[in-house]
Amino acid sequence: MTDEQLSRLPARDLLAWALETYRERFAIVSAFQPEGMVLVDMAMKLSPQARIVTVDTGRLPQATYDMMDTVRAHYGAAVEVLLPDTGEVERMVSRHGVNLFRAAPPLRKLCCEIRKVRPLGRGLATVDAWASGLRRGQSAERAGTPVIDRSSGPQLKLNPLAAWTQEEVDAYVTAHAVPTHALLRAGYATVGCEPCSRAIASGEDARAGRWWWEQDGGKECGIHVSPTGKMRRTLDVLLDEILH
Ligand code: SF4
């Protein structure tokens, strides 16, 4: 099938194609948000052996660890947990402090790079294709999300829910009794690391609860939307100091 044909498949059919095509070289990458859980639910029903991968940054809220156990119990799934490199974290926090993310957007990006982006990159080396729960409606940065993405790295990235609305996600979760993250029931719109996520007020943007103290960093960790321009150059200098 061409990418255009794949892009038109319903989410479940696209996952079925990926599972059949790539088998153990395909994984769902999820932080257990509703979108990721929709993919987990679909994949588990298509193939109980489907791989589910997540990143444990070391700064997650307890409710996210509880979600990992819930997914294991509910689906009988083995959740593959990727951890940051110990030496990289040690050098980063020794140099910049454990709460470096509060100091400046480039240091926040550095923390995300060390604790999220690089561990996921190592994990993705074991697959040829992966799926994320990105939706175009989640933010301006994600408005151009393609269903089939061959430009984000050596692996094929699928965004089966790219065109879904929040209402469609909610309807699927309800109809299929998909397990949900406890903090989503406490006013969070999305949940990342504990110090970098908060509940949002009524009417606030869904991404407003992430890195809420930042004015110019972009509400992204770097996994889906990489820094560009001056931010990229500054981040690369900071990274170089940690890695070499
Ligand atoms: S979300 Fe916060 S604590 Fe987590 S990796 Fe990014 S900056 Fe670090």
* Per-residue pLDDT tens digits for 76-135: 999 999 999 999 999 999 999 999 999 999 999 999 999 999 999 999 999 999 999 999
In the chain, the domains with their CATH numbers are 3-243 (3.40.50.620)
Cα-Cα end-to-end distance for the chain = 44
Q: According to the model, what pLDDT value does residue 224 have?
A: 81
Amino acid at position 123, single letter: G
Average pLDDT value for residue range 54-79: 97
Average pLDDT value for residue range 14-20: 98
Q: What is the pLDDT of residues 201-214, one digit of tens each?
A: 988 888 888 989 88
User: Between 153 and 42, whose confidence is greater?
Assistant: 42
Residue 217 reports pLDDT greater than 60: no
Among protein residues, the one whose CA lies closest to atom 2 of ligand 1 = 196
* Cβ atoms 54, 80 nearer than 8 A: yes
Average pLDDT value for residue range 12-34: 97
User: How buried is 178 (Cβ within 10 angstroms: 0-12 exposed, 13-18 middle, 19+ buried)?
Assistant: middle
Confidence of residue 146 (pLDDT cuts 50, 70, 90): very high
Q: Is 221 assigned a catalytic role? A: yes
Q: According to the model, what pLDDT value does residue 237 have?
A: 94
Q: What is the pLDDT of residues 176-208, one digit of tens each?
A: 999 999 999 999 999 999 999 999 998 888 888
Closest-lying ligand 1 atom to the alpha carbon of residue 115: 5
Give Cα separations from 146 to 8, 17, 54, 142 (angstroms): 11, 17, 22, 9
Pocket test for ligand 1, best of 98, 193, 225, 238 (most atoms within 8 A of CB): 193
Among protein residues, the one whose CA lies closest to atom 8 of ligand 1 = 111
Among protein residues, the one whose CA lies closest to atom 5 of ligand 1 = 112
* Cβ atoms 192, 89 nearer than 8 A: no
CA of 193 to the centre of ligand 1 (A): 6
CA of 12 to the centre of ligand 1 (A): 31
